[in-house]
Amino acid sequence: MFLVHRLSDFIYKIEKALAVFFCGILLIALSAGVAFRYFLNSPLSWSDEIAIFSLVWLTFIGGSMGIKLQRSAAVTILMDKVQGPMRKTLLFISTIAVFLFGCYIFALSMKWIMSPNILFQKSNSLQLPMIIPYLSVPVGFFFILIHSLDLVLKTFQTTEKEA
């Protein structure tokens, strides 16, 4: 359990660095696109594409960070009304559900990434391999798996201690 927690913390540090990197790329690409289009009257063909790819990566990394920090969107109508051991049980079940959903999407995304046609696709402007933005899905969900497994183990440990 300690190993999973340390791995989750390490991945979170990587995610923070990647989030800063992709935010910077997004800012530079969009700023350059605006500057070239409106001030130099010579629009860049690649700025929108780079911005979109950065936003895709930022979305999946940010979603994983939200799971780690337990700040993702949630409907808490039922949880607000329940107290005590029942609340802990529902919290454990919801954490397991997030983990299982992450496993399912990760497996689907790996199957998708491994399909032969993915390797031959290129982006329109830069002719970058489309595997680069597509990899954001399995990488993001792999990170979500690690963070949610850490949360499952923490929830199980606190539930077990109180029992």
pLDDT at residue 162 tops 90: no
Contact 64, 144 (CB under 8 A): yes
pTM of the model: 0.89
pLDDT at residue 111 tops 90: yes
Neighbour-count burial of 64, counting CB atoms closer than 10 A to its CB (0-12 exposed, 13-18 middle, 19+ buried): buried
Domain that holds residue 144: 2-162
Q: What pLDDT is stored for residue 91 in this prediction?
A: 86
- Mind listing the pLDDT tens digit for each residue in 20-34? 999 999 999 999 999
pLDDT at residue 159 tops 80: no
- Kindly report which listed range (33-42, 49-58, 72-81) carries the lowest average pLDDT score: 72-81
**Mean pLDDT in residue range 74-86:** 81
Q: Residue 98 — very low, low, confident or very high, per pLDDT cuts 50/70/90?
A: very high
Q: Residue 80 — very low, low, confident or very high, per pLDDT cuts 50/70/90?
A: confident
For every residue of 105-122, DSSP letters joined together read: HHHHHHHHHTSGGGGG-B
* Total count of domains within the chain: 1
Q: Residue 82 — very low, low, confident or very high, per pLDDT cuts 50/70/90?
A: confident
Contact 104, 145 (CB under 8 A): no
pLDDT at residue 67 tops 70: yes
pLDDT at residue 163 tops 60: no
Average pLDDT, the chain: 91
